[in-house]
Structure 1
Amino acid sequence: MKHASAGTGIDLTPAIDGWVGAQRWFAGKAHSPVLRSIGQWALPTDEAGVRIACHLVLDTASRFSTLYQLPLTERTAPLPESSALIAQTVGRDGLPRYVYDAPHDPVYAAALLRFITSAASLSSDDPGGVTARGELLRAGMGPDDSTPYSVTASRVISGEQSNTSIVLDVADEAGRPGRPVICKVFRVVAAGSNPDVSVQSALAGAGSRFVPEPIGAVSGEWTNPLSAARHSGHLVFAQEFLPGVDDAWRVALAAAAAGDDFSIPAHALGVATAAVHRDLDRVFPTVASTPDVINQLCLTMRERYRLAAREVPELAAHREAIEAVFARAKAAPWPRLQRIHGDYHLGQVLDVPGRGWVLIDFEGEPLRPLAERSLPDIPLRDVAGMLRSFDYVGATIAMRDPAAAPAAIEWAMTARAAFLLGYHAGDGDSQAGTAHAGQEALLAAFELDKAVYESIYEIRNRPTWLPIPLRAVRRLAQDAHAAAHSPG
């Protein structure tokens, strides 16, 4: 296979296709990738015997022509005890070379942070080549903005599905540790500003205390061989790392398992969510909910239900009630559309001691096109996502111990109510978070839409979990039926 990078820097090996196909962040699970490099940018390093090349590769076997980022390190000597080896090749000198997935290589981590904090720029001699630019989003990494920091250790966070995040421990010239950094390497690359960078940076710039502090980013520019057009987008995002903290899912799950009341934390989470929505309403443009916009959003929900009922026959039993929920939402008053989180659940919130709840991962649903994830939407979509997350906590406990099911379901309902009260209390005068004021019909529709989406996911990936979203669909359908037949 001939790659666009052949003869410049590191040539990709045939082993790359198989390795990429086995990664959790590879989006084409139904096929084997056939990759073609459209170019690379070389990350500078002074480390002897190491070269770093960050390739952009097109999956030509995907009908979506997905573009991936593959940072690779080529070493003359192997890394000790590393499982990130992709291939062993032979260099032009006839000696062995070892090619690694670069995020697992400490040399790459140090070079990447240095590239970002120095706001460096790399241009290609080829007008159609890949270029990269480091962007510093805050002046320094220490208490005084002039303190230079170096990386003392790095590690990759396990379990991520759509990106690769590297935690970097840093120290100043005197060896004093600084605040750790986390660099998120975007694996699927798309043209445009990644909302994880733009949204979080805008919130931090607005003074929000509910998001981590951004440090910097890497932007790239490349030519799409399918259209010969020049594109640009984010490749990496660096922000402060909050060590030793649990996400809200683990905190809530532990509380539910112990039978501890979660009303106060859930209320505080509602307040934090409303505050973030209020800031997003202030720093990004909003869009009027015109009849065309409302019709399109309601049509999308109906279409998702129609397709889901084909895969999940149990959904068809509630067709009339579900249609009634969507009809009530269409007739309800709609707020203006604004930027939202887009993939909001308990796993996207950290419990930071002395600071409270901190929201992370504003990238939106990774499988949706980037252009869609950046569109204004209804804040109640985030609210509905969090309500479904509380339901999953209760259902998880009930699956572990059926005898605990009644208490677990009651725990979830109490947490949901406290979250909504906090969200309403933190709403202020903004229309960004009116979860109660005449918008119950809207919230019910978005929660139902989320449960329908979950039912598709569960039957495809975790069939034994399917009863969880089906229980929510049944409850929401019953509520709709009761509302339709209540006096007055």
Structure 2
Amino acid sequence: MDSTLACLAAWMPRQRWYAGKGRPPSLRLVGWWDLSAHDDANARIRTFLVADEAALPVVRYQVPVVMRPTEAVDAPEATWIGSPEPGVTFIDGPTDPAYARALLSLATGDRTATGPQMTATGHPAAHLEEEVRTAEVLSGEQSNTSIIHRAAHTPVICKVFRQLSPGLNPDIELATALAQAGSRHVPASYGWVEGRWNDGGGEATGSLAFVQEFLPDVEDAWRVALRAAARGDDFSEPAGRLGEATAEVHLLLADLFPTRENSSADREATAATWHRRLTIALAEVPAIAERAAGIEAVYRRAADAAWPRRQRIHGDYHLGQVLHHAERGWVLLDFEGEPLRPMRERIEPDLAIRDVAGMLRSFDYVAGSLRRDDPERSPDGVPAWAARARAAFVAGYGARSGVVLDQRDPVLTAMELDKAVYEAIYESRNRPTWVAIPLRAISRLLESTD
């Protein structure tokens, strides 16, 4: 087993989903579970759960592999993990059709797979008809790996969670509840896989994979909005419908899950997050220093304002999390919440207005990215496009939710301002030439409160 861990430790840092960039992992085997490749005699399927103890806190990774005789391997070399056993090559599981088929069968069937210190149990959510499917890995994802199963009648997508946390993943919990309640604004849910393991501190359960309806030949809202803004097409009507769809999802979540009033501890914790983020920004983004007093004043006004009830929300809402379907309209994806937040925080009730703020910032980024890519563009045209889209989104949200809301609402302004402060930190660290986008937003938000 030491050779297997050494092989994984050499391969994992090159993967997009590995969180410890810039340092080698220190892996400890927690357990594994096996799947049967009934239709492929050359394949053995094993999923390892490893703990990276070089990270603080420790990160647990799910690493599925398909073990094949080296002389029989015909997979692209880019999918090879290595050969910890003589004559055997490990293939990255999601890229191998044997694993893709076996995992889909487990997730949508009422069965259990086992191994040392671990079990994996399928939880079907709806009947999935059997048909010929071809599998391919979706490119571009970071924290997870998704496998698209194309089919003539019911294509599906299976999300494999790479970093594991105890508890039911909110993407499974919320999306499945919304789908089973009849919402047209989420894909249908077909099943998930729950893992059970013992990591020395007692038994834990967590989500391993999730199967949903796949909507082919659709674009995400970011691309739709970006193309409209580049052409100068007014986006008010689509933005208004997106606001309505967002409100409908929030209303249904409030019916399906408990809500509660904000306690003094809730308010204090939210305000502390705002101030902690601002402190970091002041240290890393000098241009924010001259705006600090105004930002603090916005936060004080929000702290004294009326806050809506807390409920389950999307948690990481932006244009890239929404698809445009010709018949169903806007369809929301990825209810996991912010990937960097601990799972225990992501499942707590929050303010629905946080999702509204996230989408408003996303419209702003459409305008900012176009201005950055085309400096010759009129300096007023794209910001005006974004302003109309933002106003229409808020109007649509308010009309459907019944919540009297405008962009000058103290809590909404604080939420959007906090998001812009976070963006300024992120851009200064990763894309310094983009930092002007959140800085302009901070100035605009402060001017709107004068």
Q: Distance in 2 between matches of 1:319 and 1:30?
A: 33
Deviation at 1:90, TM superposition (A): 3.8
Structure 2: 5+ residue runs without aligned partners? none
| One of 134, 146, 163 as aligned partner of 1:188 | 163
Deviations 1:399-437 (A, max 9, x none): 111222321111111110110110011113xxxx5534x
Deviation at 1:385, TM superposition (A): 0.3
Q: Which residue of 1 aligns with 2:394?
A: 420
Q: Distance in 2 between matches of 1:74 and 1:417?
A: 54
Q: Which residue of 1 aligns with 2:111?
A: 120
| One of 370, 375, 390 as aligned partner of 1:397 | 370
Q: Work out whether residues 5 and 27 of structure 2, in 8 Å CA contact, stay in contact via their aligned partners in 1.
A: no
Q: Which residue of 1 aligns with 2:131?
A: 149
Amino acid at match of 2:81: I
| One of 397, 405, 411 as aligned partner of 1:435 | 405
Deviations 1:97-142 (A, max 9, x none): 1111100001111111111222211244x5xx1101011001x224
| One of 162, 169, 178 as aligned partner of 1:203 | 178
Q: Which residue of 2 aligns with 1:411?
A: 385
Q: Which residue of 1 aligns with 2:123?
A: 135
Q: Which residue of 2 aligns with 1:173?
A: none
Q: Which residue of 2 aligns with 1:66?
A: 59
Deviation above 6 Å: which 4+ runs of structure 1?
A: none
Q: Distance in 1 between matches of 2:198 and 2:131?
A: 34
Amino acid at match of 2:128: M
User: Residues 362-381 of structure 1: matches in 2 within 5 Å?
Assistant: 362-381=335-354
Q: Which residue of 1 aligns with 2:41?
A: 48
Q: Work out whether residues 141 and 178 of structure 1, in 8 Å CA contact, stay in contact via their aligned partners in 2.
A: no
Q: Work out whether residues 332 and 439 of structure 1, in 8 Å CA contact, stay in contact via their aligned partners in 2.
A: no
Mark the CA change 1:82 to 1:245 in structure 2 (over 3 Å): closer, same or farther: farther
Deviations 1:293-330 (A, max 9, x none): 11221121111111121111111111110011000100
Deviation at 1:88, TM superposition (A): 2.7
Q: Distance in 2 between matches of 1:18 and 1:356?
A: 44
1:212 corresponds to 2:179: no
Q: Which residue of 2 aligns with 1:246?
A: 219
- Aligned residue for 2:47, secondary structure, equals strand
Mark the CA change 1:99 to 1:469 in structure 2 (over 3 Å): closer, same or farther: same
Q: Work out whether residues 342 and 363 of structure 1, in 8 Å CA contact, stay in contact via their aligned partners in 2.
A: yes
Deviation at 1:359, TM superposition (A): 0.2
Identity, % of aligned positions: 47
1:478 corresponds to 2:447: yes
- Aligned residue for 2:401, secondary structure, equals coil
- Aligned residue for 2:78, secondary structure, equals coil
Q: Which residue of 2 aligns with 1:19?
A: 11
Q: Which residue of 1 aligns with 2:287?
A: 314
| One of 141, 162, 174 as aligned partner of 1:160 | 141
Q: Distance in 2 between matches of 1:293 and 1:13?
A: 43
Q: Distance in 1 between matches of 2:175 and 2:84?
A: 41
| One of 296, 317, 324 as aligned partner of 1:351 | 324
Q: Distance in 1 between matches of 2:219 and 2:81?
A: 32
- Aligned residue for 1:234, secondary structure, equals strand
1:86 corresponds to 2:81: yes
Q: Distance in 1 between matches of 2:94 and 2:442?
A: 41
Deviations 1:209-261 (A, max 9, x none): 10000000000000113x2x100011000000000100000000000111111
Q: Work out whether residues 179 and 187 of structure 2, in 8 Å CA contact, stay in contact via their aligned partners in 1.
A: yes
Q: Work out whether residues 380 and 435 of structure 1, in 8 Å CA contact, stay in contact via their aligned partners in 2.
A: no
| One of 203, 206, 216 as aligned partner of 1:230 | 203
- Aligned residue for 1:75, secondary structure, equals strand
Q: Give the alignment's TM-score, normalised by structure 1.
A: 0.89
Amino acid at match of 1:219: E
Amino acid at match of 1:421: A
Deviation at 1:163, TM superposition (A): 0.3
Q: Which residue of 1 aligns with 2:94?
A: 103
Q: Distance in 2 between matches of 1:464 and 1:439?
A: 29
Deviation at 1:69, TM superposition (A): 0.4
Q: Work out whether residues 159 and 210 of structure 2, in 8 Å CA contact, stay in contact via their aligned partners in 1.
A: yes
1:32 corresponds to 2:7: no
TM-align CA RMSD: 1.5
Deviation at 1:82, TM superposition (A): 4.7
Deviation at 1:43, TM superposition (A): 1.1
Amino acid at match of 1:162: S
Q: Work out whether residues 220 and 319 of structure 2, in 8 Å CA contact, stay in contact via their aligned partners in 1.
A: yes
Deviation at 1:262, TM superposition (A): 0.5
Q: Distance in 2 between matches of 1:122 and 1:238?
A: 17
Q: Work out whether residues 134 and 216 of structure 1, in 8 Å CA contact, stay in contact via their aligned partners in 2.
A: yes
Q: Distance in 2 between matches of 1:13 and 1:235?
A: 20
Deviation at 1:18, TM superposition (A): 2.2
Deviation at 1:439, TM superposition (A): 7.4
Q: Give the alignment's TM-score, normalised by structure 2.
A: 0.96
Q: Work out whether residues 210 and 357 of structure 1, in 8 Å CA contact, stay in contact via their aligned partners in 2.
A: yes
Q: Distance in 2 between matches of 1:449 and 1:216?
A: 36
Amino acid at match of 2:149: L
Mark the CA change 1:450 to 1:294 in structure 2 (over 3 Å): closer, same or farther: same
Mark the CA change 1:57 to 1:24 in structure 2 (over 3 Å): closer, same or farther: same
